Chain A
């Protein structure tokens, strides 16, 4: 059993009771809500005549359904309009804070939590969305939950949870040029498998994480769940504190000092014990791209696609299905695979650093005429910042579309969708069949650098070779 890790410390200090189910009742420090997983949960409160237990620890926004071409109401999509109206009605009725579209602060929940300083180290954070693991980058525990559990948090500010084991993922050394946090997380999932994290929280550490930006840590923690780990976190350090300082909901003055003391204290101790440790040499990580139908189906961009018989048992069937669905063959190179759509966005890679990275690479180049490229900032603040820096002009001059903040083409719940059997290269986190809105649509996941280099080339391309082509 793990000992004295951040996970253990936060768990213990947030335990309310031991339940008959054998689970622990855990206090939730921050509850982020959005339009998709809440209407039924509020309905549940009404049914039992309960209120929101800690409205001051709850924050709402909209992200999944909003169109990114124009946010002007009412939406063309009646169902989307209905969901928006239901959320507005509920937050009013229950007295919950809400970052609406005119606030200038709306965005994808997992982007705005850290950006506003709402997500802080040593907190438990819950949201009705599986990528809540993102907030672990702040040194908090982020729980992705279902609608019934959203109801539990609304009514009691607690969850019934099973304690997880803790696996330390240590990435040593340094990343090579053109290799990004997205490649680190795809590599972890590649090595440990999409089920490797079941029952575990991942603690990410080592030189590579020590040197990584907060945005990069968010990218990695975001995808923990794709490896089966409900929780992923990085211990808070000076990078974390520098990021937090001066944000809207960060403490100030003396309170800031008290905050620092608490945050330093909550990090895993030097004597921390883990249930398991996995080590990767940073130098061995290449830019990664997925070729199949789950995030574990990935390959180093210069490597041949894996043979089907390198998969065992049932995984082999899934790999075969993946090759068939994606119209690719083992042994081939993924480089040169034609793409129709390039998507830079989603809670994995839509922060200002992602957009800067993309803009720098695309500057002076053109999106290939056969490719439709969407650049979608993760929040209104990211969008504003990017526009102040002129990034939007770099993208539009290159022929990409510059959109309003939202989840966009990460999933088919808003007008941004793949059409027919279109193939996309995408910075999002899921390449499941149908994920991007077309049952036949084909998704390849990669870093912002891979998405941009592929958008320019019209086919999957290695960002490390871009300089040579230009």
Chain B
């Protein structure tokens, strides 16, 4: 599996202003039954969308958007990776928000979706801009940790180690982990429970 460098994302944005949007809302549990991620983008916010005629995801003005602006604690709850997968397959390449749940953030990193954290005021400005002028082209610059539109440049925080991995194209962790397999064996040998304490380890 080769991975790609992620340096810059340019495009329109979908504004999702609410806080505490959990993964049950992003992809309702009944969609977890599929055995591939294929088509999971159809599940994206589907219950809310059904009950909300003008849901931002369905708003034709945001069609073709490749980023999403979100509130606080986005992606809380269940660890399901279907949520970031649905976002990615829907076409979302980066999210900017006030904060993200930890497991969700890890899952996004694992599939190469950067998350940017900005102050509540700045995120509100981004959300307003995307709501009021949905055609705005936003520019997320991973290297410089900014999101900009027009003359406005907003600083975002991207976890340092993840940022480095996106820029270097080494975010696919599996390749890194596999290169240490000999050391894995060694650590296992020193853990007495690996043999169910049958041998004196150490």
Where the two chains meet, the residues of A that have a C-beta atom closer than 8 Å to any C-beta of B are 13-17, 19-23, 25, 27, 29, 36-37, 39-40, 43-44, 47-48, 50, 53-54, 57, 64-65, 77, 79-80, 82-83, 86, 120, 122-123, 128-130, 144-149, 151-152, 155-160, 194-195, 198-199, 228, 230, 249, 251, 255-256, 258-259, 262, 294, 313-315, 317-318, 321, 411-413, 430, 432-435, 437, 439
Contact = CB atoms under 8 A, between A and B. Distances in A.
B18 interface: yes
B162 interface: yes
Nearest to B173: A160
Interface in B137-176: 160-162, 164-165, 168, 170, 173-174, 176
B197 A230 contact: no
Contacts of A19: 173, 176-177
27 contacts: A20-B176, A22-B160, A36-B32, A40-B81, A43-B36, A50-B178, A53-B184, A79-B33, A130-B78, A130-B79, A146-B81, A146-B103, A146-B110, A147-B107, A149-B106, A158-B177, A160-B173, A194-B76, A255-B196, A256-B197, A258-B192, A314-B120, A412-B28, A432-B25, A434-B28, A435-B24, A439-B50
Contacts of B16: none
A259 B51 CA distance: 55
Given A130-B78, A155-B177, A434-B25, A83 B35 contact: yes
A53 B178 CA distance: 10
A148 B33 contact: no
Interface in B10-58: 18-20, 22, 24-25, 28-30, 32-37, 47, 50-51
A148 B111 contact: yes
Given A249-B196, A318-B19, A152 B174 contact: yes
B202 to A, nearest CB: 10
A413 B174 contact: no
Q: Which of B19, B51, B111, B190 has most chain A Cβ within 10 Å?
A: B19
Given A130-B103, A230-B103, A439-B51, A16 B79 contact: no
Interface string B83-98: 0100000000000001
Contacts of A194: 20, 73, 76
Contacts of A315: 19
Given A16-B184, A48-B1, A86-B35, A144 B79 contact: yes
